[in-house]
Chains A and B, each alone.
Chain A
Amino acid sequence: MTTLPQSTEKKLGLVIDLDTCVGCHACVISCKEWNTSNYGAPLSDMDAYGAEPVGTFLNRVHTFEVKQENKPAQVTHFPKSCLHCEDAPCVTVCPTGASYKRVEDGIVLVNESDCIGCGLCAWSCPYGAREMDAAEGVMKKCTLCVDRIYNENIPEEDRVPSCVRTCPAGARHFGDFADPESNVSILTAAREGFDLMPEQGTKPVNKYLPPRPKTDVEQIDILGPLLARQPEETGGFLGWLDRTLEKL
C-alpha cells in the first residue's frame, strides 16, 4: 500500500473534446512512438507480424454507437488514457511504492525499478488505463509525457504531451486544472466538461467535453423555415428573375 500526497501544487491533465475527435488514432500512435523510446521500458509488440499482435499502448481510442429513439444512431470516438486521478486507487494499492503521484504536478507515474509486475494497480483502475508490458513485465501507463513537458532540449512550444502536439483536429488540450484561468479550466467550464465515471470516486483530473447535440432526426416536422416559393401571381421564378435583374 502506498500513500498519495496530501495535495499537489498543480493538477496537470488533458481535456478531450468528444465533439471534435474524429477517431483517427493519431494520438495513439504518436504516444507509442514517443514513449517506446523514452521514459522507462519500451512499449513492446508481441507477435508483431503474426496472428495475434498484442502491443503495449498508453492511449487507445474506442468507438461507441449510441441509438436514441427517433434519432439516427450516433458514433462517438473515445480516446482513453490514464486520467491522473486525485484519489488514484492504482497508487494506494501498490505494494512496493512503485506507483506514485507527483507532488509538484499531480502526474501519476510508475517507478519501474520498484515495479514487481504484480498487476494490482491495473486491477484497481476503474478505467483500464494501465497495461502490463509483456516483454519487460513492468506496468506501463500514460506519463503525460513528463519527459517532454519540462524538457529543455525541445522548443518551449513543443513542451506538451506528444498526443496533444499531434492531434490533427485539435481535440486534445493540455494544462493545469488547479489554475481556474488556465486554458483547460476555461474550456471545461465553457463546454460543460465532465468526469468519466465520477461514481468511482477517484476524482479524475482529465476531463471530457461532450458531443454537441446533433440536429439530425429521423422524422422531421419543421427544422427551420423552408424556402418560400416565388408566388405565381408575381410571375413565379421568371418574375423573380426580372425583379432581381432590375436591381443589378
Chain B
Amino acid sequence: MSKHHQPQLNTSPHISDEIRHTTCYMCACRCGINVHLRDGKVAYIEGNKDHPVNQGVLCAKGSAGIMQHYAPSRLKAPMKRVGERGEGKFEEISWDEAYEIAAGWLKPIREKSPEKLAFFTGRDQSQSFTSWWAQAFGTPNYAAHGGFCSVNMAAGGIYTMGGAFWEFGAPDWEHTKLFMIFGVAEDHDSNPIKIGLGKLKKRGAKVIGVNPIRSGYNAIADEWVGITPGTDGLFILSMIHELLKSGNVDLDYLIRYTNMPFLVNQDKNSDEHGLILRDAGGKQLVWDRVKDAPAAWDAKGVKPAMKGSYEVDGVPCTPAFMLLADKYLADEYKPEAVADRCGIPADRIKSIAAELAKVAFGEQIVLDRPWTDFRGEKHEQMIGRPVSFHAMRGISAHSNGFQTARALHTLQIMLGSVEVPGGFRFKPSYPKPVSAHPKPHHDVTPGKPLNGPHLGYPRGPEDLAIDADGKAKRIDKAFTWENPLSAHGLMHMVISNAHAGDPYKIDTLFMYMANMSWNSSMNTSGVMDMLTDKDENGDYVIPHIIYSDAYSSEMVAFSDLIFPDTTYLERHDCISLLDRPICEPDAIADSIRWPVVEPDRDVRGFQTALVQLGAKLGLPGFVNEDGTDKFEDYADYIVSHERRPGVGPLAGFRGKDGKGMGRGEPNPNQIQAYIDNGGFWIDHIPEEASYFKPWNMDYQNYAVERGLYDAVQPYVFDVYQETIQKFRLAAEGKGDIQPPEHLREQVHASMDPLPTWWEPFEQAQVDNNEYPHHALTQRPMAMYHSWGSQNAWLRQIHGHNPMYVPTDIWEANNFEDGDWAKITSYHGSITAPVALMEALNSNTIWTWNAIGKRKGAWALQDNASETTKGFLLNHLIHELLPSKGDGQRWANSDPVTGQAAWFDLRVKIEKTETPSNLQSQPNIASQESPVSLGPKNVEYGKEWK
C-alpha cells in the first residue's frame, strides 16, 4: 500500500507575459476578450469582465480562439487562379500584382458601367465602411448577408416600432418575470442571452420556449411549445385575439405611445384609402372624444377616441385601433381555428395568453424614477409590464417572416411591454424610427459615386430601385415589386441573377467572408455550376470573381483572385455606432480590434486592402486632392474619417483632448485610448433616461448630445403601417407607380398594414402528401458556420451531423440506430445518417447547420468526418420556388423583404441502405488545397512545460 504522498506543487505558476484586450470574432456576438500572450504566442483567451457584452464570460467558440488563430487553413499570401474555377489551383502573387489585376478589371467598369461590379460582403462587421467604399465606386450592387440572415426581424421591427431584437434591443433581464422566445437557437446573440437566462433562472422567473426543436435554450425553458414551423404568426395573432376578447390590452399605452388612435381613411374609392388623415400642417389626426372633433394627435390635452366612425372634411374614417380589433376579433383567429395548423392545442394557446395577461397586468412593477415625456407631461414613476420576448430565425427565415415579426411586436405593444421596466428595451442607437433611416439609393453615374447609401427603408413605391419600365436597377432585385422592403439586399440572389443575366450581366463579383459556393447559399450544387458555367466562347458566364477570406474555404476555390485576410487577433476593426453597435439598454458603447499578435504571413486585413485598392482606383474619399493616398490603412480610416462633422467610426475619446463622447474632432491617439481602456468605450445612460426612450425627453436630449441623432425625434409606434398600405394601394391600381400584373395579387396580399399570416410559399405550392415533413437546420452553440470545422477543438464536438428524426417518423420508417436515409425535396435529394430525437415537433426533421464540408477545403484531410458523414441541407433548398408555368422566376423569399425562406423547406424521407463507405450524398469532387494540411496530432502548450 503506497502511503498518502503529496508532491510539492507550485500553485502560483507563471501564466502569461502580457494580457491584451480586444474583441472576439468567433461569431457575431462581439464579446470583449483578454488575450494572454506567452513568448509572443497566444496562451489563453478569457472573457473581459469589464466588457458590456459578455461581462467576463466566454462561449466555447471564443475559448477555442487559439485553434482558430493558428488554424492550418489560414491563407498565406495573395493568389491568382491558375486552374479551372472550383479546382483550387492557385499561384501566390504579391499584393502589388493583386491590386494591379483587380484595378485592371474594376477601373474600366467604373468609367463605363459601375453596376457591373457586384460587391457583397458576408459576415462583415464593417458595413458602414464597406458600403461607403461601394458608394464611392458608384455601383448600386452592394449589401451584406442580412438578406439570408434576418432582414425580416430587422425590417419588421423597424417598420413597427423603430427597433427590433438582438442588436436593436434586449429584454429587461433584471426585472422581467416571464420571458418568451420564438425560434431562437444559437442565433443572436450568444453570450448575452445565456447570461440573461442565467439571471432569470436565479430568480426563478419563467421561460417559455416556442420552437419545433427542444434543444439549447428551449431545453431549459420551463415550458416548451413545439410549434409547427412557419405558423408562429398565426399562434401570436390568436393570442392577440384572446387578449382583445378579454379586454387585456394596455389601452393607455396604446393611446400615448402608438398610432392606434390615428384616424384612417375609410373611403374605398379614395386614392388615400387606408392612409392616415393629416391636418394642413401634416400632423396626423385623432378624434377627440371629449370635444367630439378632430385634433392633431399631439395637441395639448387631447383625449383620442379608440372606436367609432367619423367624418373629417367629408372623408369617412375610424381609429386604427378599430381596424386592428375588427381584424383580430374575427373567428379565423380563434384558438380553435388555428390549433391544428400550429400544432398547439387551443387550450394551450388560451392558457399562454392568460399567463401573459396575468403577469403583464397583474404583476406590474413600479420604479420610483420620475421622467418627462415629449408632451411635457411629468411622470413620478416608471410603470412596467414584466413580460418580455425574443425571437430570431425560427420566425424570420420563412416567407411569412416579416409579418410574423410584426405580429410579435404588436403582441408586445398590446401588452404595453416595450421600453418599460420588465419588458423589452432598445439598445442605442435605437430607438430609431423609419424616418431617421436613409431611403435606398440606386442612381448610377459612370465614373462618379452613387447618389447615396445603398440600403435603407422605402417610404413608398417612389423609393423602389426600378427604372421607368419597372426593370430592377440592382442585380439582386432588392427594392422591387418582388420584395419592396428589402432593407438588407438579397445576397442569396446575386449569383443566380448574375448567371441568368437577369436583370443584366455583370463583369466582376467581389465578395468578402461569404462562403457562397457552400453553406451560405441555398441550392449549393446549383451555385457551384453557375460559378463554373461558361458561355459559347468558353468564357465564364460570371467573368471575374475576387474574394477575400482568411481561410481556405470552399468559396476560395471558385475565385479568380484572392485577397488573404488576417485572423481576428491580427487586425484593426471598429465595432461602430455607425454600423451594428454593441450598446446595451443602459449604455452606449463601441469597441475595437487591434493586432494583439502580428501576422506571420503576407496577409492584410480586408478593410486595409479596400483602403489601398480604393486609392489605386482613385475613388473619392480615398485620395487627397494631389492624388496621394488619403489613408495609410484601415486603422488610419477609423481614426481620421468623419461621417458627419465631429462624428466618426468610433464615438469614444474624441477631440484633441480625447474627452469627446460621441462628438468631437478626430483624435490621432484614439486607438491607443481604446487599448488603454480595455478595447472598448462605454457611456452610461442617465437613470431618468433609461426607459420609455422613444418618448423620454431626457433620453432624446442625451442621444443628441452623444451624436446618435442631430435633433430630438420622439415618435409613436406604427402598429398600423401606413407605408405598407401605400404599396397595397399601388397593387389596387392607385398612383403612378404600380406593380406588374403578375405581382399585383402577391403585393396586395402581403402588403397588409396590419400584421397578417399566410401559408409558407413552398408548403402552399408543393404536394404536401408527396413532401409531408418540415426540415430545418440549427446553429450549434459551439460552432459558427464553417469556421468551426477547421478548429481542432470544436470539430471534436460537432464533427458530423445526423439528421434528427422525431418518434413518429422514426417508427413509420422502421429506422434503427446507424441507419441512413434519402431525404428529398421538390428540388433535390441528399443521403445522410439519421438519429432519433423525441423532443421534437412530430412532423419536423432537422440537422446542424454548416457542418458538412467539401473535400480539400479548410485544410482538413480528405477523409475528415465533415466531408464523409457530414452533409448540408442546402442542397434541398432552391433560391426559386417551383415553376408556376407562367414564365416567371418566383423567389423562395419573403414577398415583403426578400428574406431567403430556407425554413419553409418541405421534404420526404425514406430509409436507404447504409453506404459501405459511410459517404453522404451529394459527394462533391475534391478541391485542391492552396495551403498545406495541418499536423497529424496537436499538443498545444507543450513548449511551456
Contacts and interface: CB of A to CB of B under 8 A. Distances in A.
B63 A29 contact: yes
Interface centre among A75, A211, A225 (most CB of B within 10 A): A75
Contacts of A156: none
Given A44-B938, A100-B4, A227-B353, A244 B247 contact: yes
Given A17-B201, A238-B307, A245-B251, A36 B940 contact: yes
Interface in B923-945: 933-942, 944-945
A35 to B, nearest CB: 9
Given A23-B215, A214-B222, A29 B794 contact: yes
A29 B793 contact: yes
A220 B345 contact: yes
A97 to B, nearest CB: 3
A48 B935 contact: yes
Interface string A49-80: 11111110100000001010000111111000
A171 B220 CA distance: 11
Contacts of A215: 206, 222-223
Contacts of A24: 59-60, 186, 194, 216, 781-782
A57 B345 CA distance: 44
Contact of A248 (B252, B353, B944): B252
A185 interface: no
B2 A96 contact: yes
A95 B206 CA distance: 51
Contacts of A94: 2
A79 B840 CA distance: 22
A1 B2 contact: yes
B838 A65 contact: yes
A33 interface: yes
B46 A30 contact: yes
The number of chain A residues touching the other chain, given as a range, is 35 or more
B838 A67 contact: yes
A49 B44 contact: no
Contacts of B863: 50-51
A224 B355 contact: yes
Interface stretch (A121-129, A143-151, A175-183, A193-201): A143-151
Interface in B1-45: 1-7, 9-15, 38, 43-45
B939 A49 contact: no
A137 interface: no
B217 A2 contact: no
B881 interface: no
A168 B937 contact: no
Contact of B944 (A37, A96, A166, A245): A37
Contact of B937 (A100, A135, A162, A211): A135
B60 A248 contact: no
B219 interface: yes
Interface in A18-43: 19-26, 28-30, 32-34, 36-38, 41-43
B201 A237 contact: no
Contacts of A227: 242-243, 245-246, 248, 350, 353-354, 357
Contact of B251 (A34, A150, A225, A241): A241
A77 B217 CA distance: 11
B252 A220 contact: no
B397 to A, nearest CB: 21
A228 B247 CA distance: 9
Given A51-B863, A224-B354, A5 B197 contact: no
B1 A2 contact: yes
A42 B942 contact: yes
A41 B942 CA distance: 7
B827 interface: no
Contact of A23 (B12, B219, B939): B219
Nearest to B358: A224
A226 B306 contact: no
A216 interface: yes
Nearest to B201: A20
B195 A170 contact: yes
Given A19-B220, A42-B942, A168-B194, A49 B792 contact: yes
Contact of A224 (B351, B797, B935): B351
B597 interface: no
B937 A46 contact: yes
B860 interface: yes
Contact of B861 (A51, A72, A97, A242): A51
B226 interface: yes
Contacts of B3: 2-3, 97
Interface string B322-345: 000100010000000000000001
A29 B60 CA distance: 5
B810 to A, nearest CB: 12
Nearest to B19: A154
Contacts of B244: 237
A103 B43 CA distance: 31
B351 A168 contact: no
The number of chain B residues touching the other chain, given as a range, is 35 or more
A246 B296 CA distance: 21
B938 A48 contact: yes
A203 interface: no
B219 A74 contact: yes
Contacts of A216: 222-225
Contact of A226 (B223, B351, B797): B351
Contacts of A2: 1-5
A14 B350 CA distance: 41
Interface in B44-74: 44-47, 49, 54, 56-64, 66, 72
Given A45-B938, A151-B13, A230 B222 contact: no
Contacts of A109: 9
B781 A22 contact: yes
Given A22-B781, A168-B198, A37 B940 contact: yes
B58 A75 contact: no
B198 A53 contact: no
Given A32-B793, A168-B194, A214-B223, A23 B64 contact: no
Contacts of A43: 940
A166 B46 contact: yes
A97 B2 contact: yes
Contacts of A44: 937-939
Nearest to B73: A49
A153 B354 contact: no
Nearest to B206: A215
B64 to A, nearest CB: 5
Nearest to B202: A170
Contact of B781 (A23, A74, A212): A23
Contacts of B15: 38, 151, 153-154
Contacts of A240: 247
Contacts of A245: 251, 289, 305-306
B328 to A, nearest CB: 10
Interface string A160-177: 001001111111000000
Given A36-B940, A47-B937, A22 B838 contact: no
B792 A75 contact: no
A135 B243 CA distance: 63
Contact of B63 (A22, A33, A211): A33
B916 to A, nearest CB: 15
Given A23-B215, A73-B214, A230-B245, A49 B347 contact: no
Given A29-B63, A75-B839, A240-B247, 5 more contacts: A72-B224, A168-B194, A170-B199, A237-B247, A242-B307
Interface of A: 1-5, 17, 19-26, 28-30, 32-34, 36-38, 41-55, 57, 65, 67, 72-77, 94-97, 100-103, 109, 111, 113-114, 135-136, 146-147, 149-154, 157-158, 162, 165-171, 211-212, 214-216, 219-220, 222-230, 237-238, 240-242, 244-245, 248
Which 10 residue pairs spanning A and B have beta carbons closest together?
A37-B941, A97-B2, A168-B194, A73-B838, A227-B246, A170-B198, A240-B247, A75-B219, A73-B839, A150-B11
11 contacts: A20-B201, A37-B43, A42-B940, A48-B934, A51-B861, A51-B864, A65-B838, A65-B839, A75-B214, A168-B59, A222-B347
